[in-house]
Amino acid sequence: MRISFVFGTRPEAIKLAPVIKEFARNNLFELNICFTGQHKDMVIPILKLFNINIHVNLETMSKDQQLSEVVGVMFTEIGKYLSKIKPDVVFVQGDTTTAMVAATVAFFAGIKVAHVEAGLRTNDIYSPFPEEFNRVVISKITNFHFAATKNAFNNLLNEGVSSEHICLTGNTGIDALVFASKNKSHNLLKFLPEHVLDKKIVLITCHRRENFGLKFKNICKAVKELSEKFPDVNFIYPVHLNPNVNSPARKLLSDIDNVILIEPIDYFDFVQLMNKSYLIITDSGGIQEEAPSLNKPLLIIRENTERQEGVTAGTAILAGTSTRKIVERTTTLLENKDLYLKMTKIKNPFGDGMASKRIHEYLESKLK
């Protein structure tokens, strides 16, 4: 039984890595790993950390591509790849352009599709863009839906997917986090000086397409205001390589003593940095899922989130993207000790570290 895993971004690699390792233990399955190159400088180090080798690198990305150009190239190259490999099942993860195209091409070829982290919805086709479109399309053509939460499971049921084709798994990102947390060889001092780590840390990540432009400038303004309001707090921001993020971030935040801009760091180091932080400000979906396992309160800098479970449970606060709201909500968490402690004690609603095992067992039972 041949299974192809197709991915292109760092979050996909992180969340598929434990699934790949789980399936690799079973001689019933022949695995083929395909990387589309969507995050070409950020994925290979992840795979090395998890000791996973790719079989095919499609190298679909080039400078200044429009989204339509990316999609066009991927349809062609993934089509050639699947025609050559002829897998029985194609695994995709999440809601990236790679996932949507790979699932669609597999569907065209009559190949079964397995979708990890199925059923996320904001019910606004433009937010996040194009991720909401991508995941809705994938769900229409998927054979095996692996829903991370009960909300996602119910979303699929409400769209007419039979419960026989859905497996409630938990999130594979938590599996990766558990694996990474056991690795003690990574030292934050190799990229951050001790005097930075000795202070209270607010960790920041921001990279989503929906926040490009004015929203991103507002977020940077909020960080600047917070740095002035809390001079004894260090705001650490590993800046994404995308020029829509990198250029304005460095222009607006470079000359502030307690705002530390660093290059993207490997996943294991990033887990250590999350663990060292006091709280996290992010637009990342994966970090929304991971932070509660590390008992770190979270501020979501988006207008809405498809991971509502964290907001409902109380592990996260939806801050929006206005400068004023971000400053207000961050100030509350930095000053209100009772609220902060309450948020650190809530059980993670996104998973328990066993998702990959459930995916493997479910698919094996379906393919026998």
Residue (of 141, 183, 140, 144) closest to 163 by Cα position: 144
Respond yes or no: is residue 95 known to be catalytic: yes
98 three-class SS = helix
Q: Which of 12, 77, 95, 306 is catalytic?
A: 95
Q: Which of 39, 207, 208, 302 is catalytic?
A: 207
Respond yes or no: is residue 59 known to be catalytic: no
The strand pair at 30-35 and 2-7 is best described as parallel
Neighbours of 127 (CB within 10 A): 15
Write out the H or E segment, with its range, that includes residue 132. Answer: helix 131-141
Judge whether 216 and 245 are in contact, CB under 8 Å.
yes
Strands (E), the chain: 2-7, 30-35, 56-57, 89-93, 112-118, 144-147, 166-168, 200-205, 233-238, 259-262, 279-282, 298-300, 316-318
Q: Which of 12, 22, 77, 117 is catalytic?
A: 117
HSE-up of 51 (CA within 13 Å, CB side)? 5
Q: Which of 209, 225, 303, 364 is catalytic?
A: 209
In sequence order, the 6+-apart residues with CB closer than 8 A to the CB of 21 are 50, 52, 356
Judge whether 174 and 355 are in contact, CB under 8 Å.
yes
Residue (of 101, 108, 111) closest to 75 by Cα position: 101
Q: How many contiguous H segments (helices) and E segments (strands) does the chain have? A: 16, 13
Respond yes or no: is residue 88 known to be catalytic: no
Q: Which of 131, 175, 210, 309 is catalytic?
A: 131
Q: Which of 121, 208, 240, 307 is catalytic?
A: 240
Active site residues: 95, 117, 131, 207, 209, 240
